[in-house]
Amino acid sequence: MARRALTKKWGAGKWATAAAGTVEEGETYDSNIVKEIYEELGVTLGLENLTRGSKLFVRGSHDYFLQWYFATLDKTINEFTVPPEEVAAIRWIAPKELHREFATHPEHFTKGALQCLPVSLTE
Give the other-Cβ count within 10 Å of 114's Cβ: 15
Which amino acid belongs to residue 74?
D
- % of the chain at pLDDT higher than 90: 52
What is the 8-class DSSP label of residue 12?
T
Query: pLDDT tens digit string along 46-63?
Result: 999 999 988 988 887 888
Give the other-Cβ count within 10 Å of 118's Cβ: 10
SS (HEC) of 42-62:
CCCCCHHHCEEEEEEEECCCC
Q: Flag whether 46 is in a domain.
A: yes
Range of the domain at 34: 2-92
Q: Flag whether 101 is in a domain.
A: no
Q: Flag whether 36 is in a domain.
A: yes
Taking the C-alpha atoms of residue 46 and residue 33, their distance in angstroms, rounded to an integer, is 9
Q: Flag whether 114 is in a domain.
A: no
Query: pLDDT tens digit string along 54-92?
Result: 898 888 788 888 898 988 888 999 999 999 999 999 998
Number of domains in the chain: 1
Q: Flag whether 102 is in a domain.
A: no
Q: Flag whether 103 is in a domain.
A: no
Give me the CATH number covering residue 31.
3.90.79.10
